[in-house]
A and B are shown apart, each in its own frame.
Chain A
Amino acid sequence: MYGDSDASAKTDGTRAGTADTFSAAHLDFFSTANVKKWTFLAETMFEADAVSNTYSVDVERVEVGYLVDEKLRVFAGRFHTAIGYYNDAFHHGLFFMVPIARPVMVEFEDGGGLIPAHNVGLHADGRFSIGDDHLRYDVEVANGRAADPTVILNKQDTNRAKAFNLRLRYEPSGLLDGLIIGGNVYFDSIPANTMAASSETGFPFHFGPLHELIVGGHAAYFEHQIHFVSEALMIQHTETDTGAVHRTFCAFGEAGYQIDSLTPYVRYEYTRFPTEGDPYFLKTAADGFQRPSIGMKHFTTDNIALKLEAAALFSRRSGTDPSYSLTGQLAWAF
Chain B
Amino acid sequence: MRIINLILIALIVTMGPAARAFADGYVVICNAKSKVSQLPKADVKSLFLGKAKTLGGDAAVVVVRAEDDGVFGAFSDGLFGVSAKTLLSKIKQEVFKGEMAKPIKAGSDDDVVKAVAGSPGTIGVVSPAASKSLPAGVIAVSVGG
CA distance A264 to B5 in the complex (A): 50
Chain B: interface residue total (CB-CB under 8 A) = 26
Which residues of A are found within 8 Å of B51, using beta-carbon distances?
127, 134, 171
Residue in contact with B98 in the complex, picked from A32, A177, A222, CB distance below 8 Å: A32
Q: Is A313 an interface residue (CB 8 A)?
A: no
Which residues of B are found within 8 Å of A90, using beta-carbon distances?
93
The interface size bin for chain A is: 35 or more
Binds A, one of B8-16, B31-39, B53-61, B124-132: B53-61
Residue in contact with A302 in the complex, picked from B58, B89, B93, B102, CB distance below 8 Å: B89
Q: Is B106 an interface residue (CB 8 A)?
A: no
Chain B residue at minimum C-beta to C-beta distance from A92: B96
Which residues of B are found within 8 Å of A333, using beta-carbon distances?
92
Are A96 and B42 in touch, CB under 8 angstroms? no
Are B52 and A127 in touch, CB under 8 angstroms? yes
Q: Is A30 an interface residue (CB 8 A)?
A: yes
Are B89 and A32 in touch, CB under 8 angstroms? no
Given A70-B52, A70-B53; A91-B96 close (CB under 8 Å): yes
Which residues of B are found within 8 Å of A241, using beta-carbon distances?
none
- How many Å from the CB of A169 to the closest CB on chain B? 11
Are B98 and A39 in touch, CB under 8 angstroms? yes
Given A96-B96, A127-B51, A333-B92; A34-B57 close (CB under 8 Å): no
- How many Å from the CB of B52 to the closest CB on chain A? 7
CA distance A59 to B61 in the complex (A): 27
Q: Mark A213-248, 1 if CB is under 8 A from B, else 0.
A: 000000000111100000000000000000000000
Are B61 and A34 in touch, CB under 8 angstroms? yes
Residue in contact with B42 in the complex, picked from A63, A177, A302, CB distance below 8 Å: A177
Which residues of B are found within 8 Å of A223, using beta-carbon distances?
81
Are B42 and A67 in touch, CB under 8 angstroms? no
Residue in contact with A34 in the complex, picked from B45, B59, B81, B88, CB distance below 8 Å: B59
Q: Is A48 an interface residue (CB 8 A)?
A: no
Q: Mark A97-132, 1 if CB is under 8 A from B, else 0.
A: 000000000000000000000000000000100001
Q: Is B95 an interface residue (CB 8 A)?
A: yes
Which residues of A are found within 8 Å of B92, using beta-carbon distances?
96, 333
Q: Mark B72-95, 1 if CB is under 8 A from A, else 0.
A: 000000000110011011101101
Q: Mark A6-37, 1 if CB is under 8 A from B, else 0.
A: 00000000000000000000000010111011
Residue in contact with A91 in the complex, picked from B53, B58, B97, B101, CB distance below 8 Å: B97
Chain A residue at minimum C-beta to C-beta distance from B42: A173
Which residues of B are found within 8 Å of A96, using beta-carbon distances?
89, 92-93, 96
Q: Is A151 an interface residue (CB 8 A)?
A: no
Q: Is B111 an interface residue (CB 8 A)?
A: no
Within 8 A of B (CB), among A297-316: 299, 302
Are A89 and B97 in touch, CB under 8 angstroms? yes
CA distance A171 to B59 in the complex (A): 21
Are B96 and A132 in touch, CB under 8 angstroms? no
Q: Is B109 an interface residue (CB 8 A)?
A: no
Residue in contact with B54 in the complex, picked from A69, A91, A93, CB distance below 8 Å: A69
Are A67 and B54 in touch, CB under 8 angstroms? yes
Chain B residue at minimum C-beta to C-beta distance from A260: B83
Q: Is B67 an interface residue (CB 8 A)?
A: yes
Task: Please list 5 pairs of residues, one from A and one from B, whose beta carbons are closer than 8 Å in the complex, sorted by A's number.
Answer: A36-B59, A61-B98, A89-B93, A91-B97, A225-B82
- Beyond the given pairs A63-B98, A177-B45, 15 more chain A to chain B contacts, judged by CB atoms under 8 angstroms and listed by A's residue number, are A2-B96, A30-B96, A32-B101, A33-B102, A34-B101, A41-B98, A67-B54, A73-B53, A75-B98, A93-B96, A173-B42, A177-B42, A224-B81, A258-B86, A333-B92
